Amino acid sequence: MKAIIEVKRRGSVFNTARRQIAEAGRGRTPDYRLSFESARMLFAELTPARLDLLNTLRGLGPSSVYALAKAAGRNYSNVHADIARLNELGLVDRNEDDTVEVKFNAVEIRMALEQAA
């Protein structure tokens, strides 16, 4: 399963939901989709540091935030804040044993360029 992160217009969430319901109805696990209204909003939330954390965490497997911070060579409190936000966005899962993990094999960022009329 992959995470598809898109820049979409407001209201497009309904089309995404319909597509996911159709995929689930065919017995397929739908990809996780996350939409932002602008590239500015997307990259304010998914900073290079947060994307690096996703990659590091995927390589480590389930781990504590402390172990992740150490593996990433970053300050614990900054990693803790980034993981909390990634969890809110649905890109990181927090387990019962207080470890965190990424369940996606890939993150795909899509952004269509506007065409002049």
Domain of 85: which CATH number?
Answer: 1.10.10.10
116 lies in a domain? no
Q: How many structural domains comprise the chain?
A: 1
Report the pLDDT value the prediction gives residue 59, as an integer from 0 to 100: 95
Structure confidence at residue 62 as a pLDDT band (50, 70, 90): very high
**Cα angle, residue 96 at apex, residues 91 and 99 outer, rounded to 5°:** 55
74 lies in a domain? yes
Structure confidence at residue 92 as a pLDDT band (50, 70, 90): very high
Quote the domain boundaries for residue 15. Answer: 2-111
pLDDT tops 60 at residue 115: no
Report the pLDDT value the prediction gives residue 19, as an integer from 0 to 100: 61
CA–CA separation, 79 vs 87, rounded Å? 12
Count Cβ atoms below 10 Å from residue 91 Cβ, excluding itself.
24
* Average pLDDT value over all residues in the chain: 87
